Amino acid sequence: MTARTLAWAGGGSRTRPRRVSRAAVSRTLLRALLIALLLACWQAVGGHQWFAAGAVPSPHQVWDSLRADWGDYGPHVRATLWTALWGFLIGNAIGCLFAFLFLLWPGAAPLTRGLLITLFCMPIAIIAPLLGVMLPLAAAKIVIASMWSVFNMQVALLLAMRQVPPGALAVVESAGGGRLRQLLLVHARAGLPGFLAALQINAPSTLLAAIFGDFIGGQKGIGIYLTGLIVSGNQARIWAFSLVIAAIGAALYLAFGLLRALVTGSDINIAVAETAVAATTANRGRRFARALASAVCGLTLVLVGWWAFVSSVSLPSVIANTPLDVLHTFTGPRGSQVISQIGDALASSGPLALIGVALGLLAALALGVTATLAPWFTQLVMPFAMVFQSVPTVAFAPLLAIAFGRGSLIIVLVTVLVTFFPAFVAISTGLAAAPEVPGLVLKSAAASRFTMLRLYVVPQAMPYLLAAARLVIPLAILGVVLAEQLITGTGLGNLMSQAVGYQDFPMMWCVTVVMIAISVIAYLAVEAFERWYLARRQ
């Protein structure tokens, strides 16, 4: 534990070298070379019949499309960024409120956890159509953009606020200050690194969510423009716009990263931070009781919230279903048909998605672990991986379809793509902060490289792998749904599209409920495994 804390403290601070070293220059040159090489490969592949039947445009075709379409981008990008900004402000503000609430009243945390996890796991592509029906268009889009931020902010801010020197609290108390003074004078400042880290993670993910909000409808928005391009079928134009989206996501991530480096100079990895939280529970009996209470409370809150929301909008109950209405659909005359349709849809994509996530995680583990043998490699590719982690990779799903066809393989590919980068970044940063001495001990015993990996590096990487697995769940589900709706025409995504087409509200509600349940259960299952694994090995 101390080793990890020290590694954090040590690894976090970044000192600015007074003069640029030769190593840094050669690294930059190598990166530039790598980019040039990638562009050259792309140019070679692009426009040739021997790859993907010539469906991949070459860089200069993409460049031409970019220049031709540039004037059209502005209003669409502005509209989505405006939605994203509101969602970002609201989601993070709610996350902060929850963090302060849990700090002042820790008992509230397990009770509302279920609600926050549900928000974090929300399959926004599935709930978007329903929200679009129930709320005014602009409001629905903002709600969708805000949902993913709440949990990240709450977790990161609370964790950072709790890392205060105990003496500091005693000093405020001895000077006559109460809990509120402690909060303002000590905790709030301590929480700053966590706050900024959460902002950095949330900025690109809010953009992604806002893009999916666009699919509800409207005149202007990135998602709307992208849909139009996909319909037009012009590959070079799709590529050009996808790259613009990626650049915006990366720019947001880098800008907030710069802000964080300027203000705090610290580098907390959210995945790591959460792992630490997951590992701190003891006593099996009490833990079970607490988990049960938390589950019951979380479910109740979600159901009550749902009910309250549905009753607050003045829509007929045929459209705005309550939990009871959904239950009636399942148990009523249509029940068996609905269940079999949902079951078939799940069976078609579920296993493929699982395979994709597993492959993505395994690839991240394999690359992250072997990269420790060649630190220069990690240093070389890390900036790219960081940027890719923030890029809305899901937006590239249509491009994958062009290159790899519309078969079910695409589900696997999308989930691999979505899973790999966050997992690779989490594992690499985790391993970079790993204590040095065990490696020296193994080296002293003449351990081969493979033995070193097997005995030390892989077990050391496991907590980060598990944390990453938990955190990519919403993204993976989003990727699958998108691929189903846009490309394969199968699964729950397609079932939802059909239900929206037929205005079949009971079906829409059933699919939504099942999808949310699957997301939350997947999250809780990975988390339970993580806790079990960490407790067992300590």
Q: How far is the CB of 282 from other proteins (least distance, A)?
A: 12
- Applying CB under 8 A, does 438 fall inside the site for other proteins? yes
- Please pick, from the candidates 9, 23, 255, 303, the single residue that binds other proteins as defined by CB under 8 A: 23
In the bound state with other proteins, the residue whose beta carbon lies nearer, of 253 and 464, is 464
Q: How far apart are CA 306 and CA 300, in angstroms?
A: 10
Q: Which helix (H) or strand (E) holds 17?
A: none
The span from the CA of 477 to the CA of 521, in Å, is 12
For other proteins, what does the binding mask look like between residues 384 and 403, x meaning CB under 8 A? --------------------
* Distance in Å from the first CA to the final CA of the chain: 10
Single out the residue of 277, 440, 517, 525 in contact with other proteins (rule: CB under 8 A).
440
Q: Tell me which of 451, 521, 525, 528 binds other proteins, using CB under 8 A.
A: 451
Considering only 16-24, 108-116, 192-200, 310-318, which stretch makes contact with other proteins by CB under 8 A?
Answer: 16-24
How far is residue 98 from each of residues 374, 397, 466, measured CA to CA in Å? 42, 34, 25
- Give me Rg for the CA atoms of the chain: 24
DSSP string covering 477-514: HHHHHHHIIIII--HHHHHHHHHHHTT-HHHHHHHHHH
Choices 13-21, 166-174, 283-291, 331-339; region in contact with other proteins by CB under 8 A: 13-21
From the list 148, 133, 137, the residue with the least C-alpha distance to 223 is: 137
| Per-residue interface string for the shown chain with other proteins, residues 455-494, x marking contact by CB under 8 A | xx--x-----------------------------------
> Out of 109, 188, 435, 518, which residue is the one contacting other proteins (CB under 8 A)?
435
By the rule CB under 8 A, 445 interacts with other proteins? yes
Q: Is 30 in the site for other proteins (CB under 8 A)?
A: no
283 interacts with other proteins by CB under 8 A: no
Token match 């929200």: residue?
Answer: 131
Report if residue 442 touches other proteins, rule: CB under 8 A: yes
Stretch that binds other proteins, among 140-148, 280-288, 413-421, 435-443 (CB under 8 A): 435-443
With contact defined as beta carbons under 8 Å apart, do 120 and 474 qualify? yes
Residue 416, Cβ density class (10 Å: 0-12 exposed, 13-18 middle, ≥19 buried): buried
Q: Cβ of residue 283: shortest distance to other proteins, in angstroms?
A: 15
Shortest Cβ distance from residue 364 to other proteins (Å)? 20
Tokens 């001990």 locate to: 441
**Minimum distance of other proteins from residue 447's CB (angstroms):** 4
Contact between 365 and other proteins by CB under 8 A: the answer reads no
Least distance from other proteins to the Cβ atom of residue 124, Å:
37
Q: Does 314 bind other proteins (CB under 8 A)?
A: no
For other proteins, the closer CB: 175 or 437: 437
Q: Which long-range contacts (CB under 8 A, 24 or more apart) does 35-39 make?
A: none
Please tell me the count of residues contacting other proteins according to CB under 8 A: 27
Task: Please report whether residue 21 would count as binding other proteins according to CB under 8 A.
Answer: yes
Give 15 or 219: the residue with its C-beta nearer to other proteins: 15
Part in contact with other proteins (CB under 8 A); list of ranges 88-96, 119-127, 343-351, 454-462: 454-462
Near other proteins by CB under 8 A: residue from 286, 287, 406, 537: 537
- In angstroms, the Cα distances linking 332 to 126, 178, 337, 503 are 23, 57, 10, 19
Q: Does 3 bind other proteins (CB under 8 A)?
A: yes
> In whole angstroms, what is the distance from residue 270 CA to residue 103 CA?
18
DSSP string, 305-372: HHHHHHHHS---TTTS--HHHHHHHHHSTTHHHHHHHHHHHHHHHHHHHHHHHHHHHHHHHHHHHHHT
Tell me: does residue 180 bind other proteins (CB under 8 A). Answer: no
Amino acid at 502: Y
Question: With 0-12 CB in 10 A as exposed, 13-18 as middle and 19+ as buried, what is 291?
Answer: middle
The reply to whether 375 sits near other proteins by the rule CB under 8 A is: no
- Of the listed pieces 18-26, 75-83, 318-326, 363-371, which binds other proteins according to CB under 8 A? 18-26
Alpha helices per DSSP H over 46-136: 59-104, 108-121, 124-134
Nearer to other proteins, 19 or 284 (CB): 19
Q: How far is the CB of 28 from other proteins (least distance, A)?
A: 13
Closest CA to 436 of 495, 372, 388, 390: 372
447 binds other proteins (CB under 8 A): yes
Listed ranges 393-401, 432-440, 478-486, 520-528: which one lies at the site for other proteins (CB under 8 A): 432-440
H runs (alpha helix) in 185-269: 188-190, 192-214, 222-232, 235-263
Task: Judge contact between 467 and 271, C-beta under 8 A.
Answer: yes
Positions that interact with other proteins (CB under 8 A):
1, 3, 17-19, 21, 23-24, 435, 437-438, 440-448, 451-452, 455-456, 459, 537-538
